[in-house]
Structure formats: C-alpha cells, structure tokens
Amino acid sequence: MFFLFTIFTDLNIGCMSDMVSNINSLRTKIPASVKLVVVSKTRSVDEIMNIYNCGERCFGENRVQELLDKKKKLPMDIEWHLIGHLQTNKAKSIIPFVSMIHSVDSFRLLETINSESVKAGKVTDCLLQVHIAEEETKFGFSAEELADANVSDLISKMSNVRVCGVMGMASFTSDTNQVRKEFRNLKLCFDALKKKLFAPKEYFREISMGMSGDFKTAIEEGSTMVRIGSLIFGERVKK
C-alpha cells in the first residue's frame, strides 16, 4: 500500500516538473514585449499553483463558472483574463475583478460590460474579437463591421470600458501560410481601428493572437499577447 502510494506521488511530481520545464522553455521563445496569458481552462488548482509558483500571474479561462470557482481557491494577486464567449447575463459576476475580457464579440455585450462596470465603479479593459478564421463557427466581429462609421460613436459613448485592442483565432490547420494570412488580416484590422478611432489613445495597443500551435507565427505577425495552455500543461483531455 505504502509502496503504491509512493509510486503515484512520484508520477505526480514527475508530471509537475514537466510543466516547470515547459514554462521555462516557452519563456525563451516569447520576447519581453509580448505578454503571456497562461490558459488554465480544464486544469486543476494544483496545476495552476505549480505555474503560479514559477512566477506566472496572468491566467486565462474561457468559462465564467470555472473562472469563478477557481478564483475562490487561488491567490488574490492573479490577473484573470476571460478569453471565451461571454453571455450578457453572466458579465455581472466577473466584472468586479476581471483584468481583461478578450472575447467581446458584439456591441450589445460591450454595452452590458459598460453598464455593469458603471455599477461596479470600475473601468474594464476589453478586446474586440475579430473573426479571422475560415471556419464558420467561431465568434467575433467581421472586419467590415468594425470598419463601419458608427463604431466610433458607439464606443465613445461608453465611459467604463477601455477598448485596448483586438483578439483573434486563426483556423485550426497545419497550413502555416493560411494561419499567417489570417494573423496578418487581424493586424490590418488593428491598424485600421487605431488610425480611425484610437490614434491618440496609447492604451489601444494589444493584438491578442497566438496559441500553442501557432504562437511563433503570431509573434512574427505582430502579436502583443499570446494565449497558451497545452504547451505548458500538456494536451487537454477531451471531456
């Protein structure tokens, strides 16, 4: 019995130390100007603490309930980012503490975030999610929608959101040229918005693009934030 226990403990430690070497190796591949958001969805509190103890403080979750559950059990100085689709009726629960919402995919949602932020007495940093992939199912604005003249008025009316940039997800493909083209489109979309709406605003500077499989290409194409999970924690077990 004791023997078995020892084996399991060792296995566990083995796996945790892999994560430490993963994060150390990943850090050498990300320039200092690019922020790492450690994507901790589906990972346990122990796994997250392991990476926290390596010095990481910025974690990203894609589901509100999971984010709320984990936040309660983890240190207060973690900077939580929401990276997945947010339903308007769930915005209220995360606004008081969330550091950034990457996945704003409609003006209705942006308005809700604004009014909840007014109530919470804070200004919430947001990114506009742009649909850049060929796949149909992904959430986000189209580049055309954001090029609309009314966008400027809409955003300027919202006192308690700070639109800091854009976010996008490339197609899930091994075709690097396709992925590069999509990231390049996101950068063009960022540049156009910057010029049109945010030129004097120094806070409009983030391009959140790049995941485990494509972060190198994303950085080459101008990413300022990469969102990485599997490369740190290992492959996610499909539920």
Ligand X SMILES: *Cc1c(COP(=O)(O)O)cnc(C)c1O
Q: Which is nearer to ligand X, 41 or 184 (CB)?
A: 41
Q: Which is nearer to ligand X, 12 or 230 (CB)?
A: 230
User: What binding mask, one character per residue, do residues 135-174 give for ligand X by CB under 6 A, x or -?
Assistant: ----------------------------------x-----
Q: Which of 22, 20, 67 lies closest to 40, judged by CA?
A: 67
DSSP string for 157-178: T-TTEEEEEEEE---SSS-HHH
Stretch that binds ligand X, among 8-16, 43-51, 193-201, 228-236 (CB under 6 A): 228-236
Tell which one of 41, 92, 162, 180 touches ligand X (CB under 6 A): 41
Beta strand segments in the chain, E: 35-39, 58-61, 79-82, 100-104, 124-130, 161-168, 206-208, 225-228
Tell which one of 43, 70, 80, 84 touches ligand X (CB under 6 A): 84
Phi and psi based region of residue 184 (left: phi greater than 0; alpha: psi -120 to 50; beta: remaining): alpha
Alpha helices per DSSP H over 28-161: 45-52, 64-73, 91-94, 107-120, 143-147, 150-156
By CB under 6 A, tell whether 193 contacts ligand X.
Answer: no
Q: Work out how close the CB of 232 gets to ligand X at its nearest, in angstroms, rounded to a whole number.
A: 8
Q: Which is nearer to ligand X, 163 or 226 (CB)?
A: 226
Q: Footprint of ligand X on this chain (CB under 6 A)?
A: 39, 41, 62, 83-84, 169, 211-213, 227-231
